[in-house]
Amino acid sequence: MEEIMKALENIQKELNAQKIEIQKNGERVTEQITHNITNKLEEKFTILEGKHQILNEKVEQQEKRIQFMEKQARQRNIIFFGIEEDETSYHSLENNILHFINEKLSLKLNCRDIQETKRLGKKGDKPRPIKVTFSTLGLKVSILKQKRLLKDTQYYLNEDYPKYILEKRKELQEEANKEREKGNKVTIKYDKLIVLKSNNKRSLANSPESDPKSQGLVGNNTRATKKNKINQSNPSLPRSNSVSEGILKPSILSYLAKNNANKQINDKTASSLHS
């Protein structure tokens, strides 16, 4: 009986060991499968991410092209505001805008100078703005130069901007107001803010010439600088050892006179000895 119990215990131990081994193998298989699936998903995700990046670049390029084409399409347009809405047909609207330009802006245009005219928006109590497309860009520029004549009137005109540019210009207008408060000159050109910072001149109080304490130092430094410049521009030549060059000092003159007197005495002594 004891042998049977021992055999059962051994069988139980072997089963437990096999169970543990099976669990470990299952964990290893699960881990390997999870790792393989993760690698596959990462590869696919990398491929999809690359394709998504390419699509984004293409979309951005297309948006830029559309924006450029829209800008070109609106390049010769001007929006007129405040003109009475009393036309009955397209031709009467065209005649009204020509009459307005010729009378209010002092320009002479005819129907050949206008490519298209159109009221914008739904009809209401106020006159709707008129979009006018001119035949050339030069005509548009000429009209914009004359917009100053509409000052202090109910009429005004503006360029034809896309919706996203109008929103951008509103944002830039707030920044422009802040810069104007600082004293800077600001202009908004299409969708960019151009700031011309005012150059403040240096005050006289900070100038060395206006400071009485520094005038003496400045004058001395200026004279010394000029003297150094003169010496550098006219360097002195090397002095000669000859006595004739330069002015002789009194000690040298006395030395020469003494030598001359001694020479005369010696000459007289020698002549008396010969005689």
The pLDDT value given to residue 258: 59
Per-residue model confidence as pLDDT tens digits over 41-76: 888 899 998 999 999 999 999 988 998 898 888 989
The pLDDT value given to residue 262: 61
pLDDT at 236 over 50: no
pLDDT at 241 over 90: no
pLDDT band, residue 199 (cuts 50/70/90):
low
Cβ neighbours, 10 Å, residue 129: 20
Residue (of 89, 131, 129) closest to 114 by Cα position:
131
Fold of 74-160: Alpha-Beta Plaits (3.30.70)
The pLDDT value given to residue 266: 57
Contact call for residues 156 and 110 (beta carbons, < 8 A): no
Contact call for residues 161 and 77 (beta carbons, < 8 A): no
The pLDDT value given to residue 27: 85
The pLDDT value given to residue 11: 82
Q: What is the DSSP letter of 193?
A: E
Q: Tell me the one-letter amino acid at 177.
A: N
As a whole-number percent, the residues of the chain with pLDDT over 70 amount to 71
> What is the rounded end-to-end Cα distance, in angstroms, of the chain?
177
Per-residue model confidence as pLDDT tens digits over 116-162: 999 998 888 899 999 999 999 999 999 999 999 998 899 999 888 88
Per-residue model confidence as pLDDT tens digits over 155-190: 999 888 888 888 888 888 878 887 787 777 877 777
The pLDDT value given to residue 273: 46
What is the rounded distance in angstroms from the CA atom of residue 32 to the CA atom of residue 205? 82
Rounded to the nearest integer, the mean pLDDT of the chain is 76
| C-alpha distances out from residue 166 to 80, 177, 191, 202, Å | 16, 17, 8, 40
Helix-strand-coil percent breakdown of the chain, rounded to 5? 65, 10, 25
What is the rounded distance in angstroms from the CA atom of residue 111 to the CA atom of residue 98? 8
What is the rounded distance in angstroms from the CA atom of residue 77 to the CA atom of residue 161? 9
The pLDDT value given to residue 7: 79
How many CA atoms, within 13 angstroms, populate the side-chain half-sphere of residue 28?
6
The pLDDT value given to residue 215: 43
Single pTM value for the model:
0.52
The pLDDT value given to residue 94: 94
Contacts of 84 (CB under 8 A, 6+ apart): 96, 127
As a whole-number percent, the residues of the chain with pLDDT over 90 amount to 31
| C-alpha distances out from residue 194 to 2, 173, 262, Å | 102, 11, 96
Q: Give the E-state strand segments of 190-244 in sequence order.
A: 192-196
pLDDT at 195 over 70: yes
**Residue extents of the structural domains in the chain:** 1-73, 74-160, 161-200
Residue of higher predicted confidence among 9 and 147: 147
